Structure formats: C-alpha cells, structure tokens
Amino acid sequence: NFAQRSIMERNTQLAAGQFMSGNPDMIAMNTTGADAGRYLFTPFETGQAGIQRTDLATGVTRTLWRSPSAGAHVSFDASVWTPWGTYLTAEESWSGNADSGVTGNTSGYGRLFEVTNPLKPTGTVDIVQRNAVARVSHEGLQFDSLGRMYYIDETNGGALYRFESAAGIGEHYFDGG
C-alpha cells in the first residue's frame, strides 16, 4: 500500500526552458535552517555539469547553477548538505587534459565544489572550488556527528578518505585540516 510519483522529468524541464544536461545522479535534502526538508538538490553527471533544486512545497524544479561551458565542470556526482547549511558536490570524472599538479591526477577534474548560498534564487548562487581535499573520482560525501567529512575515490582500487577541518564546522571548514 504505497504510491509513488515523478517529481522531475528532463523533457518537461527542457520544454519549460530550463537547462538540464541529463543524467541526474545523487540527491541531497537541506537538513538545517528554517526551511529544513523543503528542497532536494541533484547534480548532473554529464560533460556540462550543473545542479538543480526541487522545491517540495511547490513542486517546482529549477536549474540552480550550470557550468558556463561543456568541459569546464564535468560529471558532478557527489551530493550532500553540510552541517553549516551549504551544499557540496564533486566531480566523479578523472579524465581530461589539464595538469592539476596533484600526484596521480593528470587531469584538471576530480574537484570538490561548495554552493555557499544554496537557498538563494536560481542563477544567483555562489559556487566555490574547495582545494582542501584531494582531487579524486568522487562518488560519495558524508559527514559524521563530529563534523568529519568522508569521501570515496571510486578509481585507484576504491579508497575511502576522512577530512578533519582545523577550523571546525562553519564557513572556514575548508581553510585547512
């Protein structure tokens, strides 16, 4: 005795003029703040990555942010709401031709991004690359009750990492750790 319904569909979004490059992957819900539980965030795992936000109160899905061009940001996969009220996603892709300077990574991809104001109107959010963690083929992100962040590298034999912030929970979380 259950029911299910589709709350987002690519062709409907495209017909409404919304950017939706396809392959929505992970989801995260905002779990803190006055509107906790109201929004779902979904990244696009494509060659022109982006993030959409679904308002569960109104049923409206909008593209929150999109890469300015194909190849600039690729294969967003990871998706998590932070304990301090921001949203994280990361690239699962490990291929490319830019030199990142990280041992073992010959691409410019595998980056972690934070949307620092994810509840602002679509098209006005700020997305910041966070360099405190290694560039890997990100598959998942999660925080424990002490604020430590765990992330998975699905290449190189599959590794699990833990990041502990020197600054603790909050806007300076990625300043070092």
> pLDDT 10s per residue in the chain (177 long)?
999 988 888 888 889 888 888 888 899 999 999 999 999 999 999 999 999 999 999 999 999 999 999 999 999 999 999 999 999 999 998 764 344 333 455 568 999 999 999 999 988 999 999 999 989 999 989 999 999 999 999 887 789 999 999 999 999 999 999
> What are the distances in angstroms from CA 66 to CA 32, 77, 123, 126, 171?
24, 14, 8, 11, 23
The pLDDT of residue 97 is: 39
The pLDDT of residue 95 is: 60
Backbone angles phi, psi at 175, to 5 degrees: -70, -20
> What are the distances in angstroms from CA 90 to CA 3, 49, 75, 97, 160?
32, 10, 8, 18, 15
Pick from 114, 78, 74, 66: nearest CA to 94: 74
The pLDDT of residue 66 is: 93
DSSP code for 86: -
The pLDDT of residue 101 is: 38
Per DSSP, what are the bridge partners of residue 42?
Answer: 52
The pLDDT of residue 123 is: 86
The pLDDT of residue 17 is: 86
Tokens of 109: 């991809």
The pLDDT of residue 8 is: 86
**E strand or H helix that includes residue 12:** helix 10-15
Is 0.85 topped by the overall pTM?
Answer: yes
